[in-house]
Amino acid sequence: MNSNTNNNKNNNDNYNNNDDEQEEEVFRPKTKLKRKGSIRLDLLNAENLFRPEFITGNVEKDKSELIWHLMETYLPRDSHQIQKSIITHCEYTLARTRFDLDLHTLYTGTALSVRDRLLESWNDSQMATKQVNPKRINYLSIEFLLGRLLQNALINMELEGVYKKALFQLGYKLEELYEKENDPALGNGGLGRLAACFMDSLTTQNYPAWGYGIRYDFGIFRQTIENFQQKEFPDYWLTKGNPWEVQRLDIRYTIKLYTFRGW
- Residue 4 pLDDT: 41
pTM for this one? 0.75
Residue 153 pLDDT: 95
CATH of the domain at 184: 3.40.50.2000
In a domain, 251, yes or no: no
Digit-coded pLDDT (tens) for 184-211: 989 887 899 999 999 999 999 989 999 9
- On whether residue 155 sits in a domain, the answer given is yes
Of the candidates 112, 123, 231, 263, which has an alpha carbon nearest to the alpha carbon of residue 177?
112
Distances (CA, A) of 46 to 5, 6, 40, 200, 228: 11, 11, 11, 29, 58
Q: What does the pLDDT read at residue 8? A: 43
pLDDT for residue 56: 59
Torsion of CA 125, 126, 127, 131, to 10 degrees: 100
On the question of pLDDT at 88 being above 50, the answer is yes
Residue 147 located in a structural domain: yes
Choice between 45 and 239, residue whose per-residue pLDDT is larger: 239
CB 182 within 8 A of CB 149: no
**Which range is least confidently modeled, 59-63, 94-98, 181-185?**
59-63
Mean pLDDT of the chain: 81
In a domain, residue 162? The reply is yes
Q: For the chain, what is the domain count?
A: 1
- Report angle CA 110, 116, 120 to the nearest 5 degrees: 150
Question: Is residue 42 in some structural domain?
Answer: no
The candidate with the shortest Cα–Cα distance to 2, out of 206, 166, 257, is: 206
Question: 69 or 41, which is more confident?
Answer: 69
C-alpha dihedral, 75 to 77 to 78 to 83, nearest 10°: 70
Query: Would you say residue 107 lies in a domain?
Result: yes
The pLDDT value given to residue 252: 87
| Tens-digit pLDDT profile for residues 146-191 | 999 999 999 999 999 999 999 999 999 999 999 999 999 898 878 9
pLDDT in tens, 203-250: 999 899 999 999 899 888 888 899 999 998 888 899 899 999 998 889
CA dist., res. 26 & res. 147, Å (int) = 40
Q: Are 33 and 10 in contact, with CB atoms under 8 Å apart?
A: no
**Domain membership flag for residue 240:** no
Residue 58 included in any domain: no
Other beta carbons less than 10 A from residue 160's beta carbon? 16
pLDDT (mean) for 68-89: 92
Query: Domain residues for 131?
Result: 77-233
Q: Is 169 helix (H, G, I), strand (E, B) or coil?
A: helix
What confidence score (pLDDT) does residue 188 get? 81
